[in-house]
Amino acid sequence: MTFQKITGEGEENQERRRKLLAMIHIAKEALCWSDIQYRCMLEGGFDVPTAAALTIEQLGKVVDFFIREGWEPQGRKKTKQTVMLQKRVMGFVSQIPGGEKRVDGLCLKLCGVAKVQWCDDPAKLKRLLAAMGNIKRKEVVISAVSRGVG
């Protein structure tokens, strides 16, 4: 029996986990955190001795924490298409119920990263926009039905 079968983690989740763990360790080094500071943060915030014991959601929270502390993830150079798609997604946020929190969840699920700004794959951003469009259309239909229109 493989580890994947025991834990129930698919390849996609394992890859996302690996990326988040790498980001955490890069951020720790970039912010010049000592090992003691890092382990105290994990113990205090999540009651775990190591980041490997965290869930994907908790790993995302740790990355968000490091960003609030001043760390800026360095990625590949973004193309004009990527920048424009990211702007379209961010412009769409206010049109979807649940706003930023919902879009971050969709981004994590569809793009494999916790924030729209971190996704530099145009195909994934297009999928995200399509999903957001579907959500918006469904919400319009639901609100119209609840008002008795249609």
Contact (CB, 8 A) for 21 and 52: yes
- Look up the pTM and report it: 0.49
DSSP letter at 77?
A: P
CB atoms within 10 A of CB 47: 8
Q: Which of 113, 123, 112, 111 minimizes the C-alpha distance to 85?
A: 123
Residue ranges in 80-121 assigned as alpha helix (H): 80-92, 99-111
H-run or E-run covering 95: none
Query: Residues 109, 148: contact at Cβ < 8 Å?
Result: no
Residues of the domain holding 62: 3-68
pLDDT tens track for 118-141: 888 899 999 999 999 888 888 766
Strand ranges (DSSP E) for 1-150? none
The answer to whether residue 14 is domain-embedded is yes
Residue 74 falls inside a structural domain: no
Q: Is the pLDDT of residue 59 over 50?
A: yes
- pLDDT band (50, 70, 90) for residue 62: very high
Shared-domain flag, residues 54 and 87: no
